Structure 1
Amino acid sequence: MPPLLGVCLALLSVATPLVWGYSSGCPSTASVCSSMLPGHGAPAKTTPMRYSLTVDGGTSIYTPGLPVTLTLSGGPFVGFVVRALTGTGNGVSGMNSMSPNVITKDCGPVKDTVTHSSGAEKTTVMFQFTPPVGTSGTIEFHVTVVQDYDIYWVKQRGLTLTPTEAGSGSITTKQPPVSVPQTTGVSSTTKVQPVSLPQTTVVSQTTQQKPVSLPQTTVVSPTDITTLTPSTSSSSTSSSTSETGTIPNDPACGITKGCFQQCTGDTCSYLVTWQDLGTGVRFELYGKPGTGSSEAYLALGLSADKRMGDDSVTECVASNGDIRVFNSYNRGYGNNRLNPPQLGLANFRGGYQNGVLWCAFTRQKSGNVQSEMFDLNQDWYLMLAKGSAVPGYILTMHSTVNLPPVSASQVDFQSATVQQGVHIKYPLVKAHGILMIIAWVLCVGVGILAARYYKNVWADKTFLGLKIWFQIHRACMVSAFVLNSIAFIIIFSFVKGYSEINIQGKQYLASHPVLGIIVTALCVINPLMSLVRPAPDHKNRPIFNWAHWGVGMCAYILSAITICFGFQLPKSSTPTYAVYIMIVYVIYVIIFDVIFEMTECFSRRQKKVEAGGMEMSNKNGTDNGNVPNGKSSSKDQMRKMDKIKTFLLVLHIAVTGAFALVLALVVGLN
């Protein structure tokens, strides 16, 4: 029987038309063997496919005459072809079926190709490859996978095996870009050989794929594991992800892969997948950094809780067309890379097009690794941060408004579970910020004004036996003291002590906790000073007045700076415009202060004063409760001025209250 007729009869015997050509007929043997093209009419996908060809045990080493078990998986598919080739493109015999839906095919030597025997949907197929005795050099496996009639990938480089004698080191072969993730595994005798970090080239939609040099998979000894070194990178090409700027859902989620995602239907905002490979876990990250530049990153964090800080992080960083992967550790707000930064990483590749950044890598589970690289045999919460980078693969702080999503529960990396991401809020941090805003924007803003400009208003009136200005001043300052103290206790309780802040590109934010402690200390010192205030006629009273005023103004000024810095911290989840609202408030206070200074100058020219009221004059620009002692016309002028100043005080309370309310809502509702 002619080979073509035999192949066609075999394909026509299946019950469903979901085979290479469906009902359109059988492809020729020459087509399957050379181009590996199904012949469905629709163009083949040029995106990195999700399907992977892996070796049982994870090793990429072969010994002539000994069988190697291969598995094709990655989600539902209906058709496939896998062909074994030498580095020069000649077929290598030795393919054998291990699944009922797999048959062998003769494209060159006998049994150098396997394909499907049924168009029924499948998620995993297994077959065996036994390299003939005398085989030498690398053996490459080309893969074609048909997801459905119109979606298929053709002749992808899925896996490369090297002979035993070459397996102890890192072998570099000239290969086209990899579209299927390679697997890191273990050998019983071979130790890790470090290799340099390869770069990943991002190819635009119109650029043709070019070969890149790809080091082979590093082999790790189970008894002497030190690190998995970076071993694979590839060019990325335009994909369904890149073509449309969207992230498609992975059909393998919950079947062969675990997933951490936020998806609606077939489209995702972000997607993280993992697959247990024995000694390592294969990760894929997809996200939209939203930077609008070629410098961006995705960072996958492992945490014992849902709070940022003390997290093991793997970064996927795009910089000037290259993708690199690093391991780092979050300590508080700071992030530091491990030494070496590629510790425990292997087989990585990635791309960045049309706003979508993706990367894939294998991460070692455990072994002689740093304590800051968490063991994947344990369960951890997942976090996915995104943001912009600067040249040199340096990360900047992620958005402080949209904090990184966190998995709803801890993730088991040995299972194929699906986790939805949630955005964690920090109500205690927000309560701290809101209390500080009310204390310093409203209470102190009104209290300082009353003490500075209202000692000569309502000079002949008292409230509960004390001057009205003093009652206003004391009520505001006591309220500010109480609110500040509560806010201080809340934040120290939340961070469990003092928290250092180290944010790349915003080192000045490290001063926020220091300034907060200084402001709180001044807030405590000033009322204590009032308890030892000298008598109005004491010679040291002017010194006290200036000291009391100076401490209060220093705390007031520093509080505005501290609040602005606090708006920029990640856990505050506060939009950037809150800082501008605070700047407008400061400008308003300065303008209002100038207006009051002008009214004070006018008031002094209208009257003569004598000692009286509560206090003596203190040379701080106020009259300290002095009452007019002159003509009735001067008293009439003072009454008019008192009305104007009363109106201005009410206006000031309303305006500062509005600023405090707006800022509190911005902090609380975002």
Structure 2
Amino acid sequence: MFQLRLSVVLTLTLSSVILALRNGAPPDACGHLTPRHPDTTANLHYPPYQILPAAGQGRIRVILGSPQGLAYQGFIINARSTDTGEYVGEFTNLPANVKAIECTPGLKNGVTHTDTSEKHNIEFDWEAPDDYEGMIIFNSTFAQDYSTYWVGVESPRITVVRRNIVVMTTPTPPPTERPTTPPYYEAPVAPENNEALARKRAIYTGCGTTKSCFGAPSDCVDSQDCKAVVAVSVQGERYIFELQGEGGKYVAVGLSEDAKMGDDSVVECVENSGKISIHHSWNTGRKNDRLPPQSGMLNLEHSSFEDNRIYCKFTRERRTVIKGHEFDIENKPYHLLIAMGKDLKPNGVGYHNLREASAAPRRLSDVAKIAAADDVLIRVHGALMIASWIGTASVGILMARYYKQTWLRSSLCGKDQWFAWHRFFMILTWAMTIAGFVVIFVEIGTWSSATIHASLGVVTTALAFIQPFMAALRPHPGTPRRPLFNWAHWFVGNAAHICAIVAMFFAVRLTKAKIPEWVDYVLAAYVVFHVVMHIVLSFAGCASDRQDSQRINAFPMKDLQRGSMGHPDARRDAPLAAMRKLIFAIYFIVITVFVAALVVIVVLAPIEDSWVKFTNNF
């Protein structure tokens, strides 16, 4: 009798387990989503599974899978309103190994498994009710096996407006411990703001899974906050492009063979008085020319302008011939160029305010999140020019102008201190300038004078290059040509310094530099400080002259006439030497701070994004 009762109990227990795992979850599990597995608890770590929704007209294609390719044996899923928590919609087009359950009697608003076979990427559809408006979220439980399961795995939030569906964003990673009971959903704070955000982020839906995405600034696709972004998907033989840009008058995407401007096919989405138009253009070098419309090449399917945000969706033929160049986007890899600008020309677009190029060429038929090209050489160029012309050149010029009669009681390598250090700093300036010029030439790959910055950079490099050769050929003191050399050496050096500083102001406006506009104030502060120090030292020189019968703080074009070196005062510093040394110490420290700050800004550009990432990680 005892054995009979024991076998009955075991049979009932096993039946319960089988019911819970083999045949799927019962309808009463919709509310708590928790498997009836005795002696087990839900896994509280980050789930290796995810719910991937793809929006369509009035329905959503739901994919249940694992980014790591892990299999699962069982699951249950339903959709709820984030406002009320009520079940919403019904599931259709179910595969053979799953079944619908009625979380609400008469409605197929839940889905679960029918067997314990290993499953990968199960797909089915969810249909929205007619005239439903609101935000929903899918909640699911994944059972890897009998004892390992995750409860309350959430999908991205989804906005439904009368069967028009927009997936908002990627799901927020869950904490290691859940503070509430399932299902895990939260009502939005401001639904109207979420709807606007959903429309803004709709272009990112499917990035890396169903379409290729690329945006600017770099690494913005994952955070869904690009200033300009392009998404490319393939549907049969149709190549569908989506373009979106914020804060400009146009957003454009180009196909390039070398990630640089020149021989590129460009499509522009342009806003003018609230109306959106699409145009095709061609990059010749750094010049962009609009092309006449070609029948069938581009087909604008949808466009909008909302909250100063341009959006357009268009299709492009797989093969086109433009300016004698064939573009085969199906079989040939291309670099993507994306740009956004605020200026329009009468028959084209103006200079871009933001530009990014992809790191490597890719076939657009291959789905991926496309990475931006590395701009390390641009940053190295900027750091070298800042260090040379704000740093070493400024110090070297100051020493030659005001410190010829300071530190006279000691020498360096047999030379006066001022001359030895002047030569040291100016050689450093020369070397870093030439290195910076070579680096940017390698990055661009061609000679360029398309911008004021580039033109001034070329002039600066040329003037800096000839300076040491002029110094090597200088006439001896007292010869007739020595004054001419002094004036020429002074003029070329100061002209190079001025051109370099002005070029830096124009560099702030270059989109490639990614330097914030407020850096203009930092550069202006340097200029003011530099000029003030020169004025102070000039007055100090005049005061020193009045205290000494001999002019000791010589003007840079004058030669020092010391007289007999045997005189006891010949190696004595000029009056006010202590003050000049103090001023130099202050000048050197402040210049070092300017250089360090500007180099950090250039190397970490865009500095705002780097600061946000740093504070978040900290």
TM bracket, shorter-chain basis: 0.5 to 0.7
Deviation, 1:476, is 0.7
- Distance, in Å, in 2 between the alignment partners of 1:485 and 1:534 is 26
The answer to whether structure 1 residue 375 and structure 2 residue 360 are counterparts is no
Letter in 2 for 1:658: V
Q: Cα–Cα, structure 1 residues 302 and 272, in superposed 2: closer, same or farther, change >3 Å?
A: same
Tell me what 2:363 maps to.
412
The answer to whether structure 1 residue 275 and structure 2 residue 266 are counterparts is no
Q: Cα–Cα, structure 1 residues 149 and 468, in superposed 2: closer, same or farther, change >3 Å?
A: same
8 Å contact 1:320–1:391 — kept in the other structure? Answer: no
Tell me what 2:505 maps to.
564
Q: TM-score, normalised by structure 2?
A: 0.61
Deviation, 1:519, is 1.2
The answer to whether structure 1 residue 296 and structure 2 residue 249 are counterparts is yes
For residue 447 of structure 1, the aligned residue among 396, 399, 412 is 396
Deviation track 1:234-254 (CA, whole Å, cap 9, x = no partner) reads xxxx99864755312676667
- The 5 A counterparts of 1:402-551 are 403-404=355-356, 406=358, 410-414=361-365, 417=367, 419-501=368-450, 510-551=451-492
Deviation track 1:279-303 (CA, whole Å, cap 9, x = no partner) reads x523223x341x2xxx532212223
- The 5 A counterparts of 1:67-146 are 76=61, 119-120=92-93
Tell me what 1:587 maps to.
528
Q: Cα–Cα, structure 1 residues 382 and 334, in superposed 2: closer, same or farther, change >3 Å?
A: same
The answer to whether structure 1 residue 555 and structure 2 residue 458 are counterparts is no
Q: Helix, strand or coil: the match of 2:369? A: strand
Letter in 1 for 2:128: Y
Q: Cα–Cα, structure 1 residues 268 and 464, in superposed 2: closer, same or farther, change >3 Å?
A: closer
Deviation, 1:620, is 4.5
Letter in 2 for 1:552: G
Q: Cα–Cα, structure 1 residues 531 and 636, in superposed 2: closer, same or farther, change >3 Å?
A: closer
8 Å contact 1:610–1:628 — kept in the other structure? Answer: no
- Distance, in Å, in 1 between the alignment partners of 2:506 and 2:286 is 14
- The 5 A counterparts of 1:276-425 are 276=235, 278=237, 281-285=239-243, 287-289=244-246, 291=247, 296-307=249-260, 310-340=263-293, 344-371=297-324, 374-377=327-330, 378-390=332-344, 395-399=349-353, 403-404=355-356, 406=358, 410-414=361-365, 417=367, 419-425=368-374
* Unpaired segments ≥5 residues, structure 1: 1-48, 53-72, 78-117, 123-145, 155-178, 181-237, 502-509, 612-616
8 Å contact 1:379–1:412 — kept in the other structure? Answer: yes
8 Å contact 2:252–2:267 — kept in the other structure? Answer: yes
Deviation track 1:480-523 (CA, whole Å, cap 9, x = no partner) reads 1111111112122222230243xxxxxxxx13222222211111
- Distance, in Å, in 1 between the alignment partners of 2:577 and 2:56 is 81
Percent identity over the alignment is: 26
Q: Cα–Cα, structure 1 residues 343 and 656, in superposed 2: closer, same or farther, change >3 Å?
A: farther
8 Å contact 1:349–1:360 — kept in the other structure? Answer: yes
8 Å contact 2:548–2:575 — kept in the other structure? Answer: no
The answer to whether structure 1 residue 600 and structure 2 residue 554 are counterparts is no
Deviation track 1:329-362 (CA, whole Å, cap 9, x = no partner) reads 3445443322448882224430011344221112
For residue 656 of structure 1, the aligned residue among 582, 591, 616 is 591
Letter in 1 for 2:319: S
Q: Helix, strand or coil: the match of 1:317? A: strand
Tell me what 2:560 maps to.
624
Tell me what 1:83 maps to.
none
Q: Cα–Cα, structure 1 residues 480 and 255, in superposed 2: closer, same or farther, change >3 Å?
A: closer
- Distance, in Å, in 2 between the alignment partners of 1:531 and 1:637 is 28
Q: Helix, strand or coil: the match of 1:318? A: strand
Deviation track 1:197-240 (CA, whole Å, cap 9, x = no partner) reads xxxxxxxxxxxxxxxxxxxxxxxxxxxxxxxxxxxxxxxxx998
Deviation track 1:373-396 (CA, whole Å, cap 9, x = no partner) reads 733232223343334344858544
Q: TM-score, normalised by structure 1?
A: 0.56
- The 5 A counterparts of 1:24-43 are none
Q: Cα–Cα, structure 1 residues 621 and 434, in superposed 2: closer, same or farther, change >3 Å?
A: same
- Distance, in Å, in 1 between the alignment partners of 2:193 and 2:526 is 49
Deviation, 1:465, is 1.4
- Distance, in Å, in 2 between the alignment partners of 1:151 and 1:357 is 30
Q: Helix, strand or coil: the match of 2:61? A: strand
8 Å contact 2:360–2:373 — kept in the other structure? Answer: no
8 Å contact 1:300–1:384 — kept in the other structure? Answer: yes
The answer to whether structure 1 residue 247 and structure 2 residue 201 are counterparts is yes
- Distance, in Å, in 2 between the alignment partners of 1:586 and 1:271 is 41
Q: Cα–Cα, structure 1 residues 475 and 250, in superposed 2: closer, same or farther, change >3 Å?
A: closer
